[in-house]
Chains A and B, each alone.
Chain A
C-alpha cells in the first residue's frame, strides 16, 4: 500500500482522513455481507422472537399483544420431558463419541507413516457422506425384517422379530454413528500436532505412562476434544432427522417438536418459543463453555 505514488498523494491528506477512508473501504467491502446476513439471517430470527412473544389469533396469525404463554407451555410436563430427553441424548452422544474417538484418533496419529495417509482418508470418508444415507444404513440393519432379526431368527434365537428400530436406543445409536467422524477428526488433529519430545521428557523425568497421559497428553489435546464437542453437541441438540427416521413417533426431541409446530400443528408462536429456547440453550452453553475452557480460537 505504501507505494511512492500513493504515499505522495496520501501525505497531502491528514492522517485521520486516510484512516477514515480506510474505514469506509472496509465497510464497503463488508456491505454485501451486512445486507445479506441482516436481511436473511438476523431479521428472520427477530421474526420468530416476535412470534414467540405474541398472542396467537384465531386463524393462527400473530396479534399485536404481548404474552409469555408459549414459554410457559414449554414447562408443561409433556414438553418439559421432550426438552430433557433432547438434552440428555445430546450429552450422552457427546460423551460416547469422545470415549470411542479418543483412543482411535490416538492410535491413528501414532500409526506407522506408510499406513497413516490411507487410514486418515478412510476416517475422512464417513465425514463427507450424507447424514441421511448413514442413518438409512442403520434402518436397513435394524428394521423388523432387517439383517439383525434375520440372523437371530435363522440361528433360532428368536421366534418373533425384535423391535429394534423406533426405540430411544436406536436413536442414540444413530446419533453416535452420525457424529463419530465429527469427533475423530479434531481430536486426531490435536494429537498429531503433539510434540513427541514432550512425552519423552515426561518419561525421562520419571513419569509413569498413565501420569504422562493425564498430565501432558490430555491437557495438550483438550482443545481437540473441545472442538469436537462443539461439532457434536450443538447439531445433536437440534437434530430432528435421526429421531424422525429411527425413533418413529415414539422418540420426540425438541427438533421434532419445532418441525411439528411449524409444518403440522401450524402453531408458529409455540414453535417459535421452542426455537428461541433451543437457540438460547446453544448460545448460553457456548459462552459458558468458552469461559470454562478459555477457548479463544474455537468459535
Chain B
C-alpha cells in the first residue's frame, strides 16, 4: 500500500517538473501562431509572423553568419583537438599535467571573461571585428571540448589493430588513414558536432567579439528580445527550437543504431 502511494507521488513529481520545463516553451510556441500582436488572449490562428520572419533580411544574414562561424570553427577545432587528443593519449612527457590543466581552463572560466579578454586582445592588435574574430574565439573554447570527446574515444581504441596493419606492410600514413582514422571516426565526428552545437548556441562570446555586419543568430535573437515580447520573436524561437529538437532526436536515434553495429564492439565481443 505504502509502496504504491510512493510510486504515485513519484509519478506526480516527475509530471510536475516536466510541466515546469515545458509549459513556458509550449506557451511561447502557441503565441507564435496568435493573430493579435499585443494581446495574450487568443484571437485566431495565423502564419503572418512566420511570413514576416522569412522576409527579414537581417535574420537571413545572421543565420548565414552563424553557419559560417559554426562550420569553420568546428572544422579547425576538430583538427587541432584531435591532434592534441592523440598526443595526450599516446605519449607521456614533462609538462603534460600542466598542459591538461591549461586545456581545462576554457571549460571552467566564465564565458564573459573570455569574451571581454578577446575583445581587449583584438582591439590591442588593431584587428577589426567580424566573422573571423568570432571564429577565432569559438575555436579557442572548442579545442578543449573536442579534445575531451576524442580522447574518451581513444581509450577504447585497440592499438594491436595498428600494429597488425604495420606488420602487414602498411606505412605510418597508410595505417593512420586506413585503420586508425576510420576506427576513431565516430569520436572525431562527435567532437565536430559538439563544437558545431556550442558555436551555434553561443551568445556571450560572440556578443563581445562580433562587429557590425557579423551578428550571429543568437545575437540577433537577443537584440530582438530586448525590444520586448513580440509574436515575431516567438516565431523565430519556435523555428530554432524545431530545428534543434529535430537534429537532437535524429542524432539520438542514429547514435543508438550505430551502437548496435559498432565494429569495435564486435571485435571486443
Provide the bound-state CA to CA distance between A2 and B165, in Å: 11
Give a binary string over B222-248; 1 marks a CB under 8 Å from any A CB, 0 the rest: 100110110001100100110011001
A136 → chain B, closest Cβ, in Å? 5
Q: Which of A25, A37, A177 has the most CB of B within 10 A?
A: A37
Q: Which chain A residues numbered 131 to 148 have a C-beta less than 8 Å away from chain B?
A: 131-141, 143, 145-147
Cβ of A53 < 8 Å from any Cβ of B? no
Cβ of B211 < 8 Å from any Cβ of A? no
Closest A residue by C-beta to B226: A245
B70 → chain A, closest Cβ, in Å? 13
Residues of A within 8 A of B22 (CB): 122, 126
> Among the listed B10, B106, B221, which residue makes an inter-chain contact with A41, where contact means beta carbons less than 8 Å apart?
B106
| Interface size class, chain A | 35 or more
Binds B, one of A8-16, A77-85, A220-228, A278-286: A278-286
Q: How many A-B residue pairs have CB under 8 A?
A: 232
Residues of A within 8 A of B139 (CB): 36, 40
Cβ of A27 < 8 Å from any Cβ of B? yes
Provide the bound-state CA to CA distance between A128 and B133, in Å: 25
Given that A3-B167, A44-B120, A100-B17 are contacting pairs, would A23 and B91 also be in contact in the complex, using a CB cutoff of 8 Å?
yes
Residues of B within 8 A of A107 (CB): 10-11, 13-14
Q: Which chain A residues numbered 245 to 278 have a C-beta less than 8 Å away from chain B?
A: 245, 255, 258-259, 262, 268, 271-272, 275, 278
B interface with A by C-beta (< 8 Å): 10-11, 13-14, 17-18, 20-22, 24-25, 27-28, 31, 38-41, 79-81, 83-84, 86-88, 90-91, 93-94, 99, 102-114, 116-121, 124, 136-137, 139-141, 143, 147, 159, 162-163, 166-167, 197, 201, 203-204, 208, 218, 221-222, 225-226, 228-229, 233-234, 237, 240-241, 244-245, 248-249, 252
Starting from the known contacts A45-B109, A133-B221, A282-B108, 4 additional A-B residue pairs (CB-CB under 8 Å) come to A40-B118, A47-B121, A238-B110, A279-B110
A interface with B by C-beta (< 8 Å): 1-6, 22-23, 25-27, 29-30, 32-34, 36-37, 40-45, 47-48, 51, 100, 103-104, 106-108, 110-111, 119, 121-126, 128-141, 143, 145-147, 150, 177, 180-181, 230, 234-235, 237-238, 240-241, 244-245, 255, 258-259, 262, 268, 271-272, 275, 278-279, 282-283, 286, 299
